[in-house]
Amino acid sequence: MSSPHARLPLSRRGFLLASTGAAASLALTPSPARAAGGRRPFGRFGSPAARLTPRTLYVDPRGRGDHATVKDAVTAATGSGWTLVLAPGTYRETVAVDVTRTEATWIGATEDPRDVVIVYDNAAGTPKPGGGTYGTTGSATTTVQAEGFTARWITFANDWLRADHPDITGTQAVALKVQGDRSAFHHCRFLGHQDTLYADSTALTSFARQYFSHCYAEGDVDFVFGRATAVYENCHFRTLDRTDLAAAPYGFVFAPSTAGANPRGYLVTRGRVSGEAPDAAYKLARPWVPSSDTTARPSLVVRDTWLGPGIDATAPYTNMSDTFPWQNQRFAEYRNTGPGARITVPENRPQLTAEQAESATRETYLGDWRPWKESC
């Protein structure tokens, strides 16, 4: 999506300089044993000599698996129902899971997302070989279009830095774009700056359901965005500091683009929004009505969530375009806490009634799909 700022100096590359396991903004580092891969690089999930199932492939950059890259493993896993077990490592590559590779599962072998990092550094304005630029969608490090995709304990990142490319104005840089129905992410991390996590669908008429549980996402401008029906449960969203701006807003956490015909968009429940920026520097959300769908009615419910002081409590929402004011969209809150949740101007903070909140649940949003009951 377009940025209101021409150039944003960034400082996040440090989390990916280690050879394995990103240090990340939480100042967490992998253990030496995990970073080295240990004697059992695939943990409790078998090995090429002792496969969990015939449709399990093992990925290890040090050559102890079936493939050394995620891309090669995805290429080999044709059809439905494959599991990829990823050994500790930083996988610097772009990966795409097309619509034919359904019911896939990716597992970070150490069960710690810091240890398995899939990262690349394309931005929307990055020149493509042969001409043109990648655009927002093409900038994604990982793209998932297939239905029934599940990932556990993996970091998806884009470490493209605006400060390194002052000549590029298309600064959107997606870590993950996910479009498939029944896409689930458990204990995963999404690291970037602008447009980090693109929770979307394959078409305006496709109401893709997605579930994010105990995940972490960080960024600055619209870093969780798209038109999926997505539930974020027990997730942590962290806003990054900015040193180039004299005044707020520094950015926006959510930018849903829900289709008008879709009764449900984003649901954030039992989450946390923290930040490195000064108090009230960030807006909680702004609606994205793309030029490709001017009938969109962005939908966001944030409930039972702690909002830190970095969120502007007086005016937590703003417009992306004055043609489509946020007040005409579907934004609401319920029982939030924290300094960023204080209601000082009631008209700026629409609240669900207790009766309305009864349908603002993961069960209502996801229907007959119950990803929180799935085990690994």
pLDDT in tens, 17-68: 433 333 333 333 454 445 545 679 999 999 999 999 999 999 999 999 999 9
User: Which of the pair, 12 or 38, is modelled with greater confidence?
Assistant: 38
CA angle (155 as vertex; 32, 283 as ends), nearest 5:
125
Taking phi over 0 as left and psi of -120 to 50 as alpha, with beta for the rest, 367 belongs to: left
**pLDDT score of 245:** 79
- Residue 370: CB partners within 8 Å, gap ≥ 6? none
pLDDT-based confidence at 255, cuts 50/70/90?
A: very high
How many residues are given for the chain? 376
- Residue 15's pLDDT is what? 44
Q: Which whole number is the average pLDDT over 236-257?
A: 93
Which of 5-9, 11-15, 147-151 is predicted most confidently?
Answer: 147-151
Q: How far apart are CA 126 and CA 108, in angstroms?
A: 29
Instruction: Please give the model's pTM, rounded to 2 decimal places.
Output: 0.92
Alpha helix (H) ranges present in the chain?
32-36, 70-76, 135-138, 354-357, 362-366
* Residues 123-177 pLDDT 10s: 999 999 999 999 999 999 999 999 999 999 999 999 999 889 989 999 999 999 9
Give the residue, 276 or 32, on which the prediction is more confident: 276
pLDDT-based confidence at residue 1 (cuts at 50, 70, 90): low
Of residues 266, 240, 267, the one with CA closest to residue 251: 240
DSSP code, position 128:
P
User: Long-range contact list for 45-51, CB < 8 A, 24+ apart?
Assistant: 45/85, 45/107, 45/109, 46/85
The pLDDT value recorded for residue 163 is 87
Is the confidence at residue 239, as pLDDT, over 90? yes
Angle 61-109-47 from CA coordinates, rounded to 5°: 75
Residues of 80-105 as b/e, b for ≥16 C-beta within 10 angstroms? eebbbbbbbbbbbebbebeeebbbbb
Distance, in Å, from the CA atom of 310 to the CA atom of 238, rounded to the nearest integer, reads 10
Q: Please report the pLDDT score of residue 37 as a whole number.
A: 56
- Mark out the alpha helices in 190-325 (DSSP H runs): none
* 196-233: pLDDT as tens digits: 999 999 999 999 999 999 999 999 999 999 999 999 99
| Cα→Cα distances 283→43, 219, 338, Å | 41, 13, 15
DSSP state of 141: S
Rounded distance, CA 83 to CA 151, Å?
10
Q: Are 93 and 73 in contact (CB under 8 A)?
A: no
Contact status, residue 173 vs residue 195, Cβ threshold 8 Å: yes
- Dihedral angle sign, alpha carbons of residues 318, 320, 323, 324: negative
Q: Which residues of 350-372 are buried (b: 16+ CB within 10 A; e: fewer)?
A: bebeeeebeebebeebbeebebe
Segment 248-272 shows an average pLDDT of 97
Backbone φ, ψ for residue 229 (5° rounding): -90, 100
Evaluate the omega torsion of the peptide bond into residue 41 and state whether it is cis, within 30 degrees of 0.
Answer: no
Helix (H), strand (E) at residue 154: none
Per-residue pLDDT of 80-131, as tens digits, reads: 999 999 999 999 999 999 999 999 999 999 999 999 999 999 999 999 999 9
State how far the Cα of 334 lies from the Cα of 67, in Å rounded to an integer: 47
> What CA–CA distance (Å, rounded) separates 216 from 102?
25
Nearest one of 51, 136, 141 to 91, comparing CA atoms:
141
Q: Which residue has the higher pLDDT, 3 or 166?
A: 166
